[in-house]
């Protein structure tokens, strides 16, 4: 364990060094604060305590203490202070010194006692810091494990919905990838884009609750069947809602956009929003609520476009896939009525990248 002795009196410095070496300490010496900082920089892991004089040429003890505290706040700094200058010692301690001993040192045992005390304090500080760091690391690891598990459950839930409606396809993956691309294009934060990538595949999870006779019907739906089909938005929100009861899940979905109803889990809240509102229309004629324009959350406006586009481009029990040109025509026609014009504009600015995503995840 090394101790750095800083004093411009060469005789005192040698005496202190000899004594500390007799006490089994390795010793570094410096004649002023600047030399002391050079020793700290050269041996940052070796020096475990510093004994420093206050009044020295080139750089005094006060300046050294200020600089040393910045380098290592846990380094014990013991001040050598002349008799009658206690105020100077107190000033040094306010700057970051840990303790002080007075000159002349008639009893070196005093220095030994002070060093033992500050070194023990430093040891306890290091152990406490290491304990806190280990605890924080364990918490981070556990939190990451829980988050990974939650995300995997959500991904499997979206896969379950896909098996219900489009068993052999990659529709939900494409919706997630294209939605993230458009979110970035309209200026959402990178964090929000990644959240949308993960949540968008859950937009149709409510189809789990729709009877197969309706969901997979090859012909047009009757009015009563269409009313049942529309319920998948609320069903999806409820599936992703509070687990306490179905009634509470329903109430949560009915007031989903109220500020007091924002879930602390942002990912889960966004998934509910997408499930609930991805069939709302820009002109207010959508379902299940009839939101209009910017009342519809931006992420839901994005998914509305992507969902329709990918559905049109894919085979379904009730239709064959439309051509790319026909899909583009329908999207342009739907701008400002069914879709947010800004999202449609972003879509056509990025049409090549969107086409590449469809090719990568083709059915």
- Other CB atoms within 10 A of residue 38 CB: 11
Asked whether 131 and 124 are in contact (CB, 8 A), the reply is no
- Other CB atoms within 10 A of residue 125 CB: 13
Distance separating alpha carbons of residues 36 and 58, to the nearest angstrom: 11
The H-or-E segment that residue 26 falls in is strand 26-30
The two tokens of residue 161 are 């919905």
Distance separating alpha carbons of residues 102 and 111, to the nearest angstrom: 9
SS3 content of the chain, % helix, strand, coil (to 5): 65, 10, 30
Least Cα distance to 50 among 16, 86, 85 occurs for: 16
State yes or no: cis peptide before 318, omega within 30 of 0: no
Catalytic annotation, residues: 207
- Interaxial angle between packed helices 298-312 and 171-185, expressed in degrees from 0 to 180 and rounded to the nearest 10: 130
Asked whether 31 and 10 are in contact (CB, 8 A), the reply is yes
Residue 64, burial from CB neighbour count under 10 angstroms (0-12, 13-18, 19+): buried
Distance separating alpha carbons of residues 162 and 99, to the nearest angstrom: 69
> Which residue, chain included where needed, has tokens 């939190």?
143
Distance separating alpha carbons of residues 341 and 161, to the nearest angstrom: 29
Distance separating alpha carbons of residues 224 and 210, to the nearest angstrom: 13
């Amino acid at each position: 364990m090394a101790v750095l002795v800083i004093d411009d009196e060469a005789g005192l410095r040698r005496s202190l060094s000899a004594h500390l070496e007799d006490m089994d300490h390795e010793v570094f010496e410096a004649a002023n604060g600047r030399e002391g900082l050079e020793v700290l920089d050269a041996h940052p892991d070796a020096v475990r305590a510093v004994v420093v004089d206050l009044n020295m040429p080139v750089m005094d003890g006060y300046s050294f203490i200020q600089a040393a505290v910045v380098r290592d706040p846990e380094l014990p700094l013991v001040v050598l202070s002349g008799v009658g200058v206690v105020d100077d010692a107190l000033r040094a301690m306010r700057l970051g010194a840990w303790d002080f001993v007075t000159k002349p040192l008639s009893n070196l045992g005093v220095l030994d006692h002070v060093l033992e005390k500050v070194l023990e304090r430093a040891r306890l500080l290091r152990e406490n810091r290491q304990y806190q760091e280990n605890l924080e690391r364990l918490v981070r690891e556990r939190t990451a494990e829980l988050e990974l598990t939650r995300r995997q459950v959500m991904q499997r839930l979206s896969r379950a919905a896909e098996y219900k409606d489009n068993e052999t396809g990659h529709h939900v993956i494409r919706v997630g990838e294209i939605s993230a691309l458009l979110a970035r294009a309209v200026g959402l934060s990178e964090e929000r884009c990644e959240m949308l990538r993960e949540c968008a595949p859950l937009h149709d999870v409510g189809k789990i609750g729709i009877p197969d006779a309706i969901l997979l019907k090859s012909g047009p739906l009757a009015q009563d069947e269409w009313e049942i089909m529309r319920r998948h938005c609320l069903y999806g929100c409820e599936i992703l809602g509070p687990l306490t009861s179905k009634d509470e899940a329903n109430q949560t979905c009915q007031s989903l956009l109220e500020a007091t109803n924002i879930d602390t889990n942002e990912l889960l809240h966004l998934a509910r929003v997408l499930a609930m509102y991805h069939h709302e229309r820009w002109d207010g004629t959508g379902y299940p609520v009839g939101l209009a324009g910017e009342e519809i959350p931006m992420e839901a406006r994005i998914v509305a476009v992507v969902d329709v586009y990918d559905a049109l481009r894919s085979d379904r029990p009730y239709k064959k896939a439309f051509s790319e040109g026909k899909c583009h025509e329908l999207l342009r026609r739907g701008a400002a009525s069914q879709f947010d014009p800004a999202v449609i504009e972003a879509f056509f600015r990025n049409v090549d990248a969107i086409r590449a995503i469809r090719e990568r995840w083709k059915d």
